Amino acid sequence: MYNYYLRRLLGVGGFGGVFLAEERVREIMLRELAVKLILYDEDDETNDQLNELRQATHLEHPNLVRAHTAGACELNGMDFLYLVMEKGEYSLLDRIQQQPLSIAETKTLIRHVAAALKYLHQQGKVHRDLKPGNV
C-alpha cells in the first residue's frame, strides 16, 4: 500500500489542486512526488474522471511530466481522485520570474512544448490548462 503525505500546495487549476508530497513506507521516505487531488463528481455516470486518470498514467513522452499511478481517497469526509506524478524541479513561471529566457532558450522551449502537445493530440487529448506554471 502506498502512503502519500501531502506537504504543501503547489498550485490550483480548474480541475484540482497539486501538492508536494512524500511517498513513505513504514515512515521511510522513498521519494518526493506531486499529487493532484480532484474532487470526485458522484454524478459522473460515464466515469470520465476515472478514465482520464487511467489514461494519464499511460502517457509517455520526454516532455511530459510522468504520471505514476492514480487512485481514490477520502479527506475530511469528501471523496477525491488523485494522480501521483513526478515532481518537476521548477516551472517556466519560476524560471521567467528570475530572469527572461534567451532567444535560444525560447526556441528550445517552444520545440519541446510543441512536441508534447503534438503527442497529446495524437492520443486524442487536449491539455486544457497550458500556462507557465504548468510548463
Q: Each residue of 28-75: pLDDT tens digit? A: 999 999 999 988 877 777 778 888 888 889 999 999 999 999 988 888
Measure the CA dihedral 130/104/98/84, to 10°. 40
Which residue(s) pair with 78 in the sheet? 75
User: pTM score, two decimals?
Assistant: 0.84
CB under 8 Å to 123, separation ≥6 — which residues? 55, 59
The closest of 125, 130, 117, 38 to 91, measured between CA atoms, is: 130
Q: Each residue of 81-109: pLDDT tens digit? A: 999 999 988 889 999 999 999 999 999 99
Residue 78 has pLDDT above 90, yes or no: no
All domains of the chain, ordered by start, with CATH? 1-88 (3.30.200.20), 90-135 (no CATH)
Read off the C-alpha cell for 116: 508534447
The closest of 59, 76, 64 to 6, measured between CA atoms, is: 76
Residues classed as catalytic: 129
